[in-house]
Amino acid sequence: MRAQARQLTREEIISDEIQRLIWDMQETMRDSPGVGLAAPQVGMALQLAVIEDREELLSSLPAQELAEKERKAVPFHVIINPEITLLGDARADFYEGCLNLPGFSAVVARARRVRVAYLDERGVPQSVEASGWYARILQNEIDHLRGTL
């Protein structure tokens, strides 16, 4: 988890092996439960992460906390070979955890808004602008792909 993960080719992305890895990572993330999981967290040094902030995870949180963190449900998606751009100077400090360090969390300063260009699970180029908690999830998972815990 301390090394830069390698990029995937389109041929690799659509292979049965990577499609199976995506499925397994989705199940692992949901079972944890977590909101993101990067391939290096499961021993694969690949630039691939799965992300999902499910409504049922949010339903138990106070409305004030959801508003403060700008946290909303995010549908399941895969980011492969992501390139991130921080948008603006606004930052937010919140506690973050990591599925590889159960029971541990620390305050992490993150950009409030980001743009991420990536390939999806079919190898198709995509781009997303995210803010609030979703931006934080993206930054956390991309950190893992770059060898940052």
Q: Which residues are catalytic?
A: 141
Q: Residue 105: what are its φ and ψ, rounded to 5°?
A: -145, 160
- Determine the distance from the C-alpha atom of residue 91 to the mean position of all C-alpha atoms in its chain, rounded to a whole number: 18
What distance in Å separates the CA atoms of residue 85 and residue 11, rounded to the nearest whole number? 26
Other residues' Cβ atoms within 10 Å of the Cβ of residue 17: 8
Paired tokens of 11: 């041929």
- β-strands 113-119, 105-111 pairing: unpaired
